[in-house]
């Protein structure tokens, strides 16, 4: 029987500091409330959060042979993520981002590019995808995956019986060609609202979701910040409200929403209930600094769903 989650794609190190209100030029040290270093990126961030929620997770990605890469690997392993498919590229840098989060939640990012967008795709990865229960594909735009290998990997994953989810990170307009190749193999396409609007050319969630279904996705879950998630499933539209959390740092909310969704499906939850759980996962991540924020575990997240009000009235 297929088991576990295989996450493939962007792998980075995030360093989040809160609050940084205007970059100052004093020589003195300024005390801040929180500073978190953690594995991040659409694939590694989702992998870390899914593992925190108790899922069995393998990550397919790449780091450099620098100290940042070592930190990413050991950080993932500390929560039980299987890193045997995480490549270390000699002489390359680990993709790393410094995020200065203002007390009003806005953030400035300083990104140092590296090898994080180039996961390995080979026979071992293909075999792993065929044997997984879930494949989370976060590799659109990757140099090793675009133009055929990614679509072929997902074809194999589907042939093996996996359920495929797909998320994006800051796609260019040209990504639509690759998305058209990938979506026929995707069960749940999970872009953010900004990405959905940008790629579909529509400013209407329903029209955007419909466009992705026409391109081949079986269902579409559009993440829409405090508004929650717009879900198009079996031809029916639903709005799943977010929870009224007190956000500190919303970095990686999208990645953790995907992780929560998969972790709940893995425990047999129905898709809309899994979206509610995903919203609580992302909400708890937003209540602290960095990839994990204030998230604890699956049980505590379920308990929080009863404790928090909804951020918006259900439709």
Q: Which residues bind ligand ATP (CB under 6 A)?
A: 192, 223-226, 228-229, 242-243, 245, 247, 250, 252-255, 257, 279, 282-283, 286, 311
φ, ψ of residue 21 in degrees (nearest 5): -100, 90
Sign of the dihedral through C-alpha 291, 296, 297, 298: negative
How distant, in Å, are the alpha carbons of 29, 150, 208, 278, 310 from that of 242?
37, 32, 20, 9, 6
136 contact choice in Mg ion, ligand ATP, none (CB below 5 to 8 Å, kind-dependent): none
Indicate the SS3 state at residue 171.
Answer: coil
Q: How far is the CB of 280 from ligand ATP (least distance, A)?
A: 8
| Cβ(254)–Cβ(43) below 8 Å | no
Residue 139 vs 242, nearer CB to ligand ATP: 242
248 contact choice in Mg ion, ligand ATP, none (CB below 5 to 8 Å, kind-dependent): none
Indicate the SS3 state at residue 77.
Answer: helix
Q: How far is the CB of 147 from ligand ATP (least distance, A)?
A: 24
Residue 13 vs 125, nearer CB to ligand ATP: 13
Residue 12 vs 192, nearer CB to Mg ion: 192
Residue 115 vs 250, nearer CB to ligand ATP: 250
* CA angle centred on 51, ends 46 and 54, rounded to 5°: 135
Q: Determine the longest span between alpha carbons in the chain, in angstroms.
A: 59
As beta bridge partners, residue 222 has 230
- Total residues binding Mg ion (CB under 5 A): 2
What would you report as the CA-atom Rg of the chain, rounded to the nearest whole angstrom?
A: 18
As beta bridge partners, residue 189 has 166, 220
Q: How far is CA 158 from the centre of its chain?
A: 20
Residue 9 vs 247, nearer CB to ligand ATP: 247
Q: How far is the CB of 240 from ligand ATP (least distance, A)?
A: 8
**Which range, of 119-127, 210-218, 248-256, 297-305, touches Mg ion by CB under 5 A?**
248-256
Residue 145 vs 192, nearer CB to Mg ion: 192
Q: How far is the CB of 25 from Mg ion (least distance, A)?
A: 33
281 binds Mg ion (CB under 5 A): no
Interface pattern 162-201 for Mg ion (x via CB under 5 A): ------------------------------x---------
- In angstroms, how far is the first alpha carbon of the chain from the final one? 39
């Amino acid at each position: 029987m297929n088991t576990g989650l295989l996450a493939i794609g962007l792998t980075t190190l995030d360093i989040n500091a809160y609050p940084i209100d205007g970059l100052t030029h004093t020589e003195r040290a300024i005390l801040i409330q929180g500073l978190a270093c953690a594995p991040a990126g659409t694939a590694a961030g989702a992998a870390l959060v899914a593992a925190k929620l108790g899922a069995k997770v393998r990550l397919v990605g790449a780091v450099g042979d620098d100290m940042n890469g070592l930190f990413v690997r050991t950080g993932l392993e500390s929560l039980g993520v299987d890193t045997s498919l995480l490549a270390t590229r000699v002489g390359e840098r680990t993709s790393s981002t410094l995020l200065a989060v203002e007390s009003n939640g806005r953030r400035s990012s300083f990104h140092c590019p590296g090898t994080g967008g180039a996961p390995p795709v080979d026979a071992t990865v293909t075999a792993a995808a065929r044997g997984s229960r879930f494949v989370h594909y976060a590799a659109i735009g990757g140099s090793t995956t675009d133009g055929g290998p990614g679509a072929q990997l997902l074809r194999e994953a589907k042939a093996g019986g996996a359920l495929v989810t797909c998320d994006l990170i800051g796609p260019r307009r040209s990504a639509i060609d690759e998305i058209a190749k990938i979506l026929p193999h995707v069960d749940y396409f999970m872009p953010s609202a900004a990405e959905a609007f940008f790629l579909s050319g529509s400013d209407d969630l329903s029209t955007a979701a419909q466009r992705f279904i026409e391109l081949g996705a079986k269902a579409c879950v559009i993440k829409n910040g405090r508004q929650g998630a717009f879900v198009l499933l079996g031809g029916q539209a639903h709005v799943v409200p977010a929870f009224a959390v007190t956000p500190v740092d919303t970095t990686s909310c999208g990645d953790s929403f995907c992780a929560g969704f998969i972790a709940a499906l893995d425990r047999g939850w129905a898709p809309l209930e899994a979206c509610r759980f995903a919203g609580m996962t992302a909400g708890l991540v937003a209540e602290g600094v960095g990839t994990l924020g204030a998230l604890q575990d699956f049980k505590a997240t379920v308990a929080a769903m009863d404790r928090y009000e909804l951020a918006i009235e259900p439709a």
